[in-house]
Amino acid sequence: MIVKKRKVPLINLKLEALLRRIPTTHPKYPLIKENLAKRSAGYQGELSLNYPLSFLDEKKYFIFHDLRLNISDHYFQIDTLVISQKFILIIEVKNITGTLFFDQEFHQLIRTHNGEEAVFPDPITQIKRQMLQLKQWLTNKQIPAIPIVPLVVVSHPNAIIQTSPKHQSNCCKPLLSKRSNQSNRKKLSKRRVINKRYKENK
């Protein structure tokens, strides 16, 4: 059951409004447009979770999107939190294309796309920090300890995920979108039809 729904981030709405109000010749226009594109991609990546999460039993799982919790005088944010009677699942979504190398030695994500490299903060380190913060938040609220499972999801269907062999068990897992699932089902259905016709003609 979805307890807290996902909403379009306020910063996205502000950037969209800003782009409508300034001329394209403004020196800050390209920077604002790029910022909006990155944030929109992130939001679309989060939306891609809706389909696989829809298969969860509404009576057994409680889903919270875009959580913002505080510990003492600071806040931390979680993309998606799934709560069951046996465990809590933290999901961090990254909608990034290209070849993604999860460098667990220097704790960074290196993206190679169209021959260019870019470095991003390590989402695995990020979600581990969120897990520690959530544990502290639960302790502060005097909530009994429950296992917390962190999961990093790369939602872009064209992403190639890589890491060093000794860190493969820590590497995040790609998420198949609804479109990808439909495409796979169509291919499987087509193969079944071909096999059926082949058997009938034998």
Distance CA 46, CA 60 (A): 22
Total structural domains in the chain?
Answer: 1
**Beta pairing, strands 160-163 & 99-103:** parallel
**H-run or E-run covering 93:** strand 88-94
DSSP 3-state of 81: strand
Residue 105 backbone dihedrals phi, psi, to 5 degrees = -80, -45
pLDDT of residue 169: 64
In order along its 202 residues, the chain shows pLDDT tens digits of: 899 988 888 999 999 999 999 999 999 999 999 889 888 888 888 888 888 899 999 999 999 999 999 998 889 999 999 999 999 999 999 888 899 999 988 999 999 999 999 999 999 999 999 999 999 999 999 999 899 999 998 888 888 988 887 766 656 454 454 444 444 444 434 334 334 443 444 4
pLDDT of residue 163: 85
Residue ranges making up the domain that contains 144: 2-201
Q: Which residue has the tokens 């790609």?
A: 174
- Looking at residue 36, what DSSP letter applies? H
Q: Residues 75, 55: contact at Cβ < 8 Å?
A: no
Distance CA 7, CA 5 (A): 6
